[in-house]
Amino acid sequence: MPPQECRPVIRRTPQQPRERGIPDATVARLPLYLRALNGLAERAVATVSSEDLAVAAGVNSAKLRKDLSHLGSYGTRGVGYDVQYLIYQISRELGLTQDWAVAIVGVGNLGRALANYGGFVSRGFRVAGLLDADPEVVGDHIAGLVVEHSDELESVIAKRGVSIVVIATPATAAQAVCDRVIASGVTSILNFAPVVLTVPAGVDVRKVDLSIELQILAFHEQRKVNGGPVMGEEWAGEVS
């Protein structure tokens, strides 16, 4: 991490518009670059070429250079990119230079696993609340937090400054929880429930469906067995 004096905390609410028009496809790749850069930093690598960083992130170097140019970062000819400074640039653009309070609704097996995940804090996310409707789960102690009843959702959001809500409930409960979250002023939702949520304009929902991802992998595995193109060959260059 850069020295503290080089890392001013930029306060930005989820509703504040971006200062630059960065394409959505570029935003989707920034976490890949950040993950690769953090790996380099852990190995005490000071600078990295666009070619080496592109290989580590799994993209082509021309696309990487174009993506980073949106951040105003062009590297130095013959030297490459300063790893620590690029980590700071990407972290700032992603909003990771501040603390984001997260609430997890649904504390089944998946919710518990998410609550216990140690990588949130180091990436700027703090789990501020765990909620569930099951009386047998309410009161459990998980990762230093006490599970609260989902009836307290609005209160938890308001009192703890929750900016992002993770929905890990059964599909039948997800939409109702989503509606309550939005009514409480939260416009950023990560949905693990196996259902498509209906939300108004201005609300960002990222959906993670593990069964769909496994089905896609099964499709490509079957094609490889039958002599078809492998996934990397078929997907190369799809995201612009």
202 is in an annotated binding site: no
68 and 106 share a domain? no
Contact (CB, 8 A) for 149 and 138: yes
In angstroms, the CA 206 to CA 197 distance is: 10
Vertex 11, ends 5 and 13: CA angle to 5°?
Answer: 160
121 and 165 share a domain? yes
Q: Cβ of 1: how many Cβ atoms within 10 Å? A: 12
Helix (H) or strand (E) holding 219: helix 210-225
* CATH code (residue 166): 3.40.50.720
Contact (CB, 8 A) for 190 and 208: yes
What is the reported pTM?
0.70
78 is in an annotated binding site: no
Q: Burial, 160: exposed, middle or buried (Cβ in 10 Å; 0-12, 13-18, 19+)?
A: middle
Vertex 192, ends 57 and 119: CA angle to 5°?
Answer: 50
75 is in an annotated binding site: no
Ordered per-residue pLDDT tens for the chain, 240 residues: 444 433 333 333 344 434 457 898 999 999 999 999 999 999 999 999 999 999 999 999 999 999 999 988 777 887 899 999 999 999 889 888 778 999 999 999 999 999 998 878 767 899 999 999 999 999 999 999 999 999 999 999 999 999 999 999 999 999 999 999 999 999 999 999 999 999 999 999 999 988 888 898 898 888 888 776 555 544 444 443
**Domain total of the chain:** 2
199 is in an annotated binding site: no
| Residue where a domain stops, chosen among 47, 67, 93 | 93
SS3 category, 103: strand
Q: Which residues have C-beta within 8 Å of that of residue 238, sequence separation ≥ 6?
A: none
Q: Which residues have C-beta within 8 Å of that of residue 152, sequence separation ≥ 6?
A: 131
165 is in an annotated binding site: no
Domain that holds residue 54: 4-14+21-93
In angstroms, the CA 62 to CA 137 distance is: 50
**pLDDT attached to residue 42:** 92
**pLDDT attached to residue 233:** 44
Q: Dig out the tokens for 146 from the structure.
A: 């006490």
79 and 147 share a domain? no
List the one residue out of 89, 5, 27 whose CA is nearest residue 240. 27
**pLDDT attached to residue 14:** 42
69 and 157 share a domain? no
104 and 58 share a domain? no
118 is in an annotated binding site: no
106 and 89 share a domain? no
